[in-house]
Structure 1
Amino acid sequence: MLSLTPSQIEQLITQAQTCYPEECCGLLLGHNKTVREIWPTENTWTLEFSQGMPELLPPNPQAQSRHDRFAIAPTAILKAQKYARTQDLAIIGIYHSHPDHPAIPSEYDRVIAWDIYSYLILSVENQQVTTYRSWQLDGDRQFQEEPIQINS
């Protein structure tokens, strides 16, 4: 179960709505599935990034954009890891939004996912977050939904 506070949910919603119609993204810092800090990052996805994974390229790769793809730069992850250590925290999850799409992981999301993290997805329709759900990879590299707990 992934635990967040109402203010953390508000921070995620604000970022997702601000970035619309592109996907927002970032990291969840904390311990034992309890989020202590939201670490927003820039969506650095480019077509060249996806070309490094040809199995994910659709018939028309130019149709991909930050509207349906996200990437977090390795330097941003390293910076977050260094900061987290100074605060006695760890990266426990990755979040991103799905503009005009359900909060269900895509095949792209599954292929780039790491089994040690929770994946929080926010669905944004017409610049309004309609729902959010958390997922984690199982032993067969398939996403399973995990409950979200909102703590005061």
Structure 2
Amino acid sequence: MLVLTAAQLGQLITQAQNSYPEECCGLLLGHGKTVEQIWPTANSWTLEFSQAMPELLPSEPQSQSRRDHFAIAPREILQAQKFARTAGLAIIGIYHSHPDHPAVPSEYDRAIAWDIYSYLILSVENRRVTAYHSWTLDGARQFQEETLQIQPSQSRTL
């Protein structure tokens, strides 16, 4: 079960809606399965990714954009890891949005996923978040939905 506060969820929703029609992305920092901090990142997806991973992507160039994909630059992950370590936290998950698509992992999402993280996906339709779900990879590298618990913001110290 992934646990976050209503304020953290609000931060994710705002970022997803402001990024529309492109995917937003970022990291979830915390302990175990409890989010302590949202770490927004830029969506650094470029067409060069399609050249590096042609087997994972559709052949139509119009579907190879930030509207359909996300990437987090390694330097941003490293910055988050350094910050988390000094704050006594860890990267526990990755989040991103799906503009005009359900909050269900794509084949690309599965191919790049690591089994140690939770994957929170927000569905955004017409600049409005309509759903959000968290997922984890099982031993067969298939996504399984995990329970998402939203706590009142005042119940935890951020």
**TM-score > 0.5 by shorter chain:** yes
How many percent of aligned residue pairs carry the same amino acid?
76
Q: Determine the structure 1 residue equivalent to 2:4.
A: 4
Check whether the contact 2:57–2:108 (CA below 8 A) recurs between aligned residues: no
Check whether the contact 1:84–1:91 (CA below 8 A) recurs between aligned residues: yes
- Is there any run of 5+ residues in structure 2 with no aligned partner, and where? 153-158
Q: Post-superposition, which runs of at least 4 consecutive aligned residues in structure 1 deviate over 3 A?
A: none
Say yes or no: does 1:76 pair with 2:76. yes
CA distance in 2, matches of 1:70, 1:130: 19
Superposed CA deviations along residues 98-123 of structure 1, whole A, max 9, x for unmatched, are: 00000000000000101100000000
Q: Equivalences for 1:13-52 in 2 at 5 Å?
A: 13-52=13-52
Say yes or no: does 1:136 pair with 2:136. yes
Check whether the contact 1:93–1:119 (CA below 8 A) recurs between aligned residues: yes
- SS at structure 2 position matched to 1:121: strand
- SS at structure 1 position matched to 2:121: strand
Q: Determine the structure 2 residue equivalent to 1:145.
A: 145
CA distance in 2, matches of 1:57, 1:14: 28
Q: Determine the structure 2 residue equivalent to 1:102.
A: 102
CA distance in 2, matches of 1:86, 1:59: 43
- Is there any run of 5+ residues in structure 1 with no aligned partner, and where? none
Question: C-alpha root-mean-square deviation of aligned residues, in Å?
Answer: 0.8
- When the two structures are superposed, what TM-score results if normalisation uses the length of structure 2? 0.94
